[in-house]
Amino acid sequence: MRPRALCLALLASALWPAAARADGIGGLLEYSFSKGNTEIRDASERTTTTDSTLFSQRYRLNLDKRIFPTVTVSAGGTFERIDVRTEENGEGTDLVSTRILPFVDLVLNTQLITLGGGYQLNEATVKINGVSSPTLVREQSYARFGYRPDGFPTLNLQAGRNEFYDKDKIRQDLVNDYLNISSQYSPTNKMQLSYLGALSKGTDKLKDFETKSFTNGGTATYSDSYWKNLVTFSGMYNINNLNSEFTAGGQGEVSVPLFPFQGLSALNDTPSLVVLAPNPLLIDGNLTAGSGIDIGFVSLPGDTRPRNLGLDFVVPTQVNTLYVWVDKKLPPQVSDAYSWEVYTSDDNREWVLRQTVSPAPFAPFDNRFEVRFQNVNSRFVKVVTRPLANLPPPTVEFPDPGVFRTIPVTELQAFNTKPVADVAGKSSQTSQAITLDARVRLLSVPSLYYQVTYFAAKSTLAPYRYTLSNALLANHQFNRVFSGAASVSRLDTEDQRGHEVTYIYNASLMAVPLPTLTHNLSYSGRTVEFEGRRGTFNSIYLTNSAKLYQGVDASLSGGLDFSSRESGEKTQGTTWAASLNLTPHRTLNVNLSYSGNTSEATGGGKPDTTSSSSGGTVSASFTPFSTLYLYGDWSRSSQADQPTFTRTNYGANWAPFPDGTLHFNINYLETLQSSDESRSRSLTSGVRWNINPRASIDVAYTRFLADSNFQEQQSDFITSNLRITF
C-alpha cells in the first residue's frame, strides 16, 4: 500500500470511530466571498475594465488522542478550494485551485526517551479555463528518536524521506532521503560539547541526477572568570567536514546548494561602501520567522534606506542564484515592483555592483524570490533592494493593500546553478575555526580594560587566515554632569590578499546638566594599512536632546565625516537633523522633523563630485475619542539637480461600538505625491458580528480611486467571510 493511501486509511480510522472518545478534537469551517470591479484609463484614453469574483472554502479537522499515558497520536487534515472568475474587457478566465493537506503523527514521550514518526501530504491542483495544470505533490514521512540521560551526552536521531513531484511525473520527480544525528554534553558548567552529523541522498529521476552528502561537525566552547572577575576568558573551537558525491547521466541544469559561514545585513544609503553586520537569522533554516529586515511599504518619514542582504562564504565561492524568502505570498503587481542589485566584495567594506535583476520571479508555491545572475566568484555576496514606495491597488486576493505594509525577509539561500554534466564527481571539504577572547580589568576607577580577541580559520579550499585584535577600553563618570568613554585598538588581519593592519579609535563625552537635557559629543576614526597603502576614515557628531516642557521634546544633531583613500580620493560630508515633538494634550500629538546632508569627493583621478539632499516632515495624530483616530502628515524632500518631492497623507479611522458582539469600522486614507502628480483615495467600511465565541461573520466594502499623469483608476470591492471553529 502506498504511504499516502496508508495515511488516509489511518486518518479515517482515527477520526471516525474515535471522535467521541478523543482527548481533543477541533476544526474549522471558513467561507470567503469577494467581488470586485476595476476600471483603468491610461494617458491615451484607452480603458481597461476588469471584473473579478472569488469564492474560497476551507475545512480543517484535528484530533489529539492519548492512547497510553506516554503515547499520543495526532491526526488531521485540511481541504482548501478557491474559485476565481476574472473578466477583462469581456474576455473571461476561470481559475480553480484546490489543496489537500492530511497528516498523522505518533509520539512516545518519557523523561528519558522520545520516539515518534509521522506522515504529511500536500497536494495542490490548479485548473484554468477547464484545463488542469500538473498536480503538484509533496510527501513527507519521518521518524525521530531522542535519548536524554541525566549527566551524560544526549542523542537525537531524525530520519525521513521527502518526495516532490507532479502527479504524472513529467515535470518534476525529486526524492530526498536524510538521516540527522546530534548530541550535546556539558562535562562541567563551564564547558559545552556538541556534535552534528547529517547524511542525505537526493535523486532527480527525470534528469537522472543523484547527489550524496555526509557532514560531520563538532563544537567545543569554554568560558570562565578568575581572580574575582578581574580576568574573563572564553573560547570556541569548531570543525566541519563535508563529503559530497554527484552522479549525473541526464541533461538540463541543477542548482547545487551552497553553505555560507554567516548571514549579513544592513540598512544603508551607500551600498557600495558599507560593513554588513552578522545576522544569523538569515541562514537559520527557518523559512517563516523574520530576520529583522522588512521590505514592505514604508511611508515617509519611515526608514526608506536600501535593504542589504549578504552572505559570507569565508573563501571565494562561485554563486549565480539567490533565494530571498519572505513571510507571505505576493501577487505579481507587488513582487514585480522590486529591483535587486547584486554586489560582491573581498573585505565586506567596499562593494562592486555586478548586475541588476528586475523583476525577479516569485515562486508560485513557495514564498520566495529567485534572483538569477551571471556567475560571480567572491567571498562576500549580497543583494540590495528597497522597500515599496507605494502601496499596490486592491486585488481580489488582497482587497486591503495594507497587508503589504510589512513583508519580513525570513531567509537567504545561495545556489550555484550549472549543467548537470558539470557537477559529476566527488568532493571533500574540511574547515576549522577557533575564537579566543580574554579581558583584563586594569583599573576600577576610572574603568580601564585590556581586551584581546583572536579568530583563525582554515579550510581545504582556502589558506589559513586569522584576525587578532588588541584593545584598550576606558569609561569614567567625572562628576554628576560629565561622563566619558574611549577605546583604541589594533586589528591585524591575514588572508589570501595579504596582511592588513587597522587602527580603530573612538571617544565620546556626555553631559547631563539637567535630567531633561543631554549632550553627547562622539568621535570615531579608522586607519587601514595594506601593502604600503593607507586609507583614513573619521567622523565627529554632536547630539543634543531636551525636554523643554511637559509634552515638548526637541533634539538637534549634526556631524562631519571625512576620509582619504590610498588612491588619493578624498571625501567630506556633513549631516544634520532636528526634530520637535509636541503633546499639548493626551489626545493630540504633533511631530516636526528636518534633516539634510552634503558630500564632496575630490582627487583620485576622478572628476570632482558634490551632492546634497534635505527633507522635512510634519505629522499629527488626534484621538478625540477612543473610537475615532485622525492622522495626517506632509513631507518634502529635495536633492541637488533634482525636482523637489512632496507627499501628503491624511486619514481617519472610526470604530463605533467597540463593545458587544457587533462591530463597525470605517477607514479613509488619501495620499498626494508631487513626483507624478498622483492622488489616491481609499475608503473601507466593514462590520463584524461575533455570533458566539466560535463563530463570526465579516463584511466589508472598499473603494479605491487613483489618478496621476499616467492613468486613472477606480476599484470597488465587497468581501465577506464566515468563520466557525469547534
Is the omega angle on the peptide bond into residue 359 within 30 degrees of 0, that is, cis?
yes
Q: Confidence band (pLDDT; 50, 70, 90) for 393? A: low
Is the omega angle on the peptide bond into residue 693 within 30 degrees of 0, that is, cis?
no
Q: Confidence band (pLDDT; 50, 70, 90) for 104? A: very high
Q: What DSSP state is assigned to residue 332?
A: H
Question: Which helix or strand (DSSP H or E) is residue 7 part of?
Answer: helix 3-15
Tell me the three cell numbers of residue 37.
Answer: 470591479
Q: In the predicted model, is pLDDT for residue 530 greater than 60? A: yes
Task: Report domain 262-423's class.
Answer: mainly beta
The pLDDT assigned to 178 comes to 95
Q: Which residue carries 589559513 as its cell?
A: 464
Lowest-confidence segment of 81-90, 445-454, 637-646 by average pLDDT: 637-646
Q: Which residue carries 497536494 as its cell?
A: 123
Q: In the predicted model, is pLDDT for residue 235 greater than 70? A: yes
Q: In the predicted model, is pLDDT for residue 232 greater than 80? A: yes
The CATH 2.60.120.260 portion of the chain extends over 262-423
* Under 8 Å between Cβ of 35 and 718: yes
pLDDT digits (tens, 9 = 90+) for 450-493: 999 999 988 887 778 899 999 999 999 999 999 999 999 999 99
* Under 8 Å between Cβ of 701 and 682: no
Residue 188: strand, helix, or coil: strand
Alpha-carbon span 450 to 474, nearest angstrom: 9
The pLDDT assigned to 5 comes to 47
Which of 35-44, 444-453, 457-466 ranks highest by mean pLDDT?
444-453
pLDDT digits (tens, 9 = 90+) for 566-606: 778 888 999 999 999 999 999 999 999 999 999 898 887 77
pLDDT digits (tens, 9 = 90+) for 396-431: 666 666 678 889 999 999 999 888 777 778 888 888
Tell me the three cell numbers of residue 271.
Answer: 551600498
pLDDT digits (tens, 9 = 90+) for 369-386: 999 999 999 999 999 999
Residue 656: strand, helix, or coil: coil
Q: In the predicted model, is pLDDT for residue 162 greater than 70? A: yes
Average pLDDT of every residue of the chain: 88
Alpha-carbon span 82 to 146, nearest angstrom: 41
- Tell me the C-alpha to C-alpha distance, in Å, between residue 619 and each of 543, 589, 651: 23, 8, 12
